[in-house]
Amino acid sequence: MWTLGDVELESRLLVGSALYPSPEIMTSAVRASGAQVVTVALRRQMPAQKSGEGFWDLIRRLDVHVLPNTAGCRTVKEAVATAQMARELFETSWIKLEVIGDDYTLQPDPLGLVEAAAILTKEGFEVFPYTTEDLVVANRLLEAGCRILMPWGSPIGSGRGLMNPYLLETMRARLPDATLIVDAGIGKPSDAARAMELGCDAVLINSAIALADEPVRMGEAFGKAVAAGRMGYEAGMMQERETASPSTPVVGTPFWHMDGH
């Protein structure tokens, strides 16, 4: 068990709800992954409107925690308004905060992100800010009242994995009390396992599951990879060495001979 915000969870995998071939495959993939938190883009699905009722019914039947996001927002005003609407519609104070600053990389705008986070935390939101692995920005977000940080692995939807594991590891070491969830760019189960081995608390996956040839099997694979990576981190992995070291020492070790002597 671990705590996300004020909620106790078993799975450390969060999944997105976009891009799946069908809503039915999405629900099956979520169940196969074991994820207990699902992100929902407010702009795409509006539970108060008929166009989103079927989708919203599927989400409710999954019995998961919903994490609305401000996907597509490019200004502080837009992101704050979207978050306020999400709290009313989804009846949750959780919000994945996105304030996009570059259309090509979809890199977050650090200044707008910190400003919006400060506004929303004062309004009682549990803010999940989508940020880069920049340590200075991370500290500003914590000062703004965030307890959770969502640094990217690489640009959204790129599948390039962890571009800078060193900085993610540095964030873990320097911010021991913050909850770190790697979000964006993870393309393979091994990428997710690596993020967990670095000490991150969880990962959020969407495209890598939804766009797989078999999303349901891929969801299961990511669930197992996240669990394995976390187990390895907690067990204490061996340190890398510059030279070889025999796994079976020979000095002072008796040898068995075929003749029994």
The Cβ of residue 70 has, within 10 Å, a number of other Cβ atoms equal to 26
* Beta-bridge partners for 4: 7
From 96, 122, 188, 224, active-site residue: 96
Write phi, then psi, for 127 (nearest 5 degrees): -90, 130
Whole-number Å distance between alpha carbons of 179 and 13: 13
- The structure tokens listed for 98 are 């996105």
Whole-number Å distance between alpha carbons of 96 and 128: 4
Strand blocks (E) in 17-86: 37-41, 65-69
224 classed as catalytic:
no
- The burial class, CB within 10 Å (0-12 / 13-18 / 19+), for 38 is buried
- The structure tokens listed for 254 are 């008796």
In sequence order, the 6+-apart residues with CB closer than 8 A to the CB of 178 are 138, 142, 146, 147, 148, 149, 171
Report the catalytic residues.
Answer: 96
